[in-house]
Structure 1
Amino acid sequence: MEDAFGLSSEFVGLRNFTDVLEDPEYVSTVLFTLFFSALVTFFSLSLALLLAVQVNEVLTGAGVYKTFLMWAYAIAPPAAGLVGSLLFSPLMGDLYNGINALGFDFNHTRDGSDSIFVVVLISVWKQLSINFIFFLSGLQGIPASVQEAARIDCPVSIKRFWTVTFPLLAPTTFFLLVINTTYAFFETFGVIDLTTRGGPAGSTTTLVYKIYQDGFLGADLGGSAAQSVILMLFVICLTIIQFRYVDKKVHY
């Protein structure tokens, strides 16, 4: 354990780890991080796949559609968070006014559910373009002969997609699953910091943001260091699960 100014230190063994694991607030942060990561990964992959399938069928003006869908990838997460904070601002936000005009009592600064909606929406929008690029490349990489044979054997488009096209996208989907999970865990820090700052009442605090709050804002260097080690072990275990069990269902 070290003081906030780094002038003295004391060896306390595993006390920092036990204090972190016994903290109910940290447990709720872990649960929210898993929930948040699952939402961001699911919606960003699902929407990107839907858009890629639709654009892949476009013959006229396909380049224009691709450009509009890819440009968001050039925006850094903090910039995306700043844009989101302005759009959902209770003072001048267009999306804030639009949602409340529909009859909803929406305010992400005081309601935890609304704040979760905001950070998930912005995070998905930020990641949508890179997923779209990879899915579209995967779709265009499927041989035309395979697609023609699939149309003959299975005339129903939805069934043909799930039985032929989607299995051929399995390597791309697995790759995107890994990078989107990593993105949700680490790269959404800027989005959360500029929109909700982990609030209200810690409802949007992820593991990475809690390390920042406790270490940089709360000056708890020992506790934040212990949280960093726990997060590293957690991500290692998650990666092992992904490659050991999910990767077995991928056909290359």
Structure 2
Amino acid sequence: MLSPGRARPTPDAGENAVFRGRALPWVFLLPSLLILAVFIYLPALQTLRLAAYRANVILGTEQFVGLANFAELLSSPAYRQVALQTLVFTVLTVTFGLLLSLGLAWLASRPVRGASTYRLLLIYPYALSPAIAGTLWLFLFNPEIGVVNALLGELFGVRPRWLDTPVLAFGLVTLAAIWKGLAYNIVFYLASIQNLPGDVMEAAEIDGATPAQVFWRVAFPLLSPITFFLVFTNIIAALFDSFALTDILTRGGPYTGNAGATTFLVYQLYQDGFVNFKTGAAAAQAALMLALVAFVTWMQFRLGERRVHYGS
């Protein structure tokens, strides 16, 4: 029994927060659903439809070909070369990008004078758009007026043709992609390192573990959740965010074999769709890339529960 002078406790507002009617939640969701439908779902369905047609954009005609666009792509030597180059590019950028980011984040987390300045300089490239980053690398490695060739010419008497040699061009785009993704990875790694349990690290040091053992045996397993997340985000970035760097630095060239040495899947899609106006082939490539992203996402959820340690 409550005394007359004591106020009756009121229930938590969150416990009784319910919608008055079944239509009200859909009213709140309607703006988001409309935006998703107009800019994502409908274009995706249209892309899947175009993949089954061979269209002439100039004449405005379409011819139903079924799965012929997919068959031509998968049997094309040029497309297979592009797919292989994309695979090598993705493996290199993800592997070396994460290793370098983890090492720099670990060093930046140490208690040294001016640590905040070092961290700011490491994170700064994240503020640059891929187009600006590509322009910077273009000026640095321009064979004629680039700063890098000027230094190499003065010191060693060599001026490599970075943009004209297939191996050098591929390496240049890969290095630019790794550099562009460093800041994004460092932000996540730095935040995770700063939240590592200090008592566990100190216990390992007291037990006689070397700094390398503390890092690989203690810190790295505790960083596995963020590493797992960054692996898949970097894979998606390598598949799609390489377009601006490739377009500004090499435009997919130089030509080697059946395709350009730096032509990746997303750039091949752009060339077929917006340069050669092969809308059916471009739509088929978009559908294949959509399936690839779906597979990567499925692998992320499937492996996340088995290979990642989320304990403290």
Aligned partners of 2:126 and 2:183 also within 8 Å: yes
Aligned: 1:166 with 2:220: yes
C-alpha separation in 1, matches of 2:156 and 2:95: 27
Normalising by structure 2, we get a TM-score of: 0.77
Q: How does 1:13-162 map to 2 (within 5 A)?
A: 13-99=66-152, 101-102=155-156, 106-162=160-216
Q: Secondary structure at the match of 2:238?
A: helix
Distance 2:175 2:264 in 1: 16
The 4+ residue runs of structure 1 with deviation greater than 4 A are: none
| Cα shift at 1:243 | 3.1
Segments of 5+ residues of structure 1 without an aligned counterpart are none
2:272 to 192, 214, 226: 214
Please state how far the C-alpha of 1:106 moved relative to its aligned partner. Answer: 2.0
Q: Distance in 2 between matches of 1:159 and 1:174?
A: 21
1:108 alignment partner, SS class: coil
Q: Aligned equivalents of 1:181 and 1:104: distance in 2?
A: 35
Mapped to 2, the partners of 1:96 and 1:38 lie a distance apart of: 28
**Are the counterparts in 2 of residues 174 and 247 from structure 1 also a CA contact under 8 Å?**
no
| Equivalent of residue 12 in structure 1, options 65, 72, 75 | 65
Post-superposition offset of 1:238: 2.5
C-alpha distance in 1 between matches for 2:254 and 2:286 = 23
Partners of 1:77 and 1:9 lie apart in 2 by: 35
Partner of 2:289: 231
Q: Percent identity?
A: 38
Determine the C-alpha separation between the residues in 1 that align with 2:158 and 2:250: 19
**How many pairs does the alignment contain?**
252
> How far 1:104 moved relative to its partner?
5.4
Higher helix share: 1
CA contact (8 A) 2:253 2:263 kept: yes
State the AA in 1 paired with 2:215: F
Tell me the distance in 1 between the aligned counterparts of 2:246 and 2:151.
Answer: 22
Q: Provide the aligned C-alpha RMSD in A.
A: 1.5
Report the Cα distance in structure 2 between the residues aligned to 1:246 and 1:143, rounded to whole angstroms.
22
* Relative contact order higher in (CA < 8 Å, ≥ 6 apart): 1
- Gap runs ≥5 in structure 2: 1-53
**How far is 1:133 from its partner?**
1.1
Which deviations, in whole Å up to 9, do the C-alpha atoms of 1:195-244 show, x marking residues without a partner?
01111010011100000011101111111111110111122222323332
Deviation of the 1:58 alpha carbon: 3.0
How many Å separate the matches in 1 of 2:264 and 2:309?
33
For structure 1, which segment, 104-113 or 176-185, has the greater mean C-alpha deviation from structure 2 after superposition?
104-113
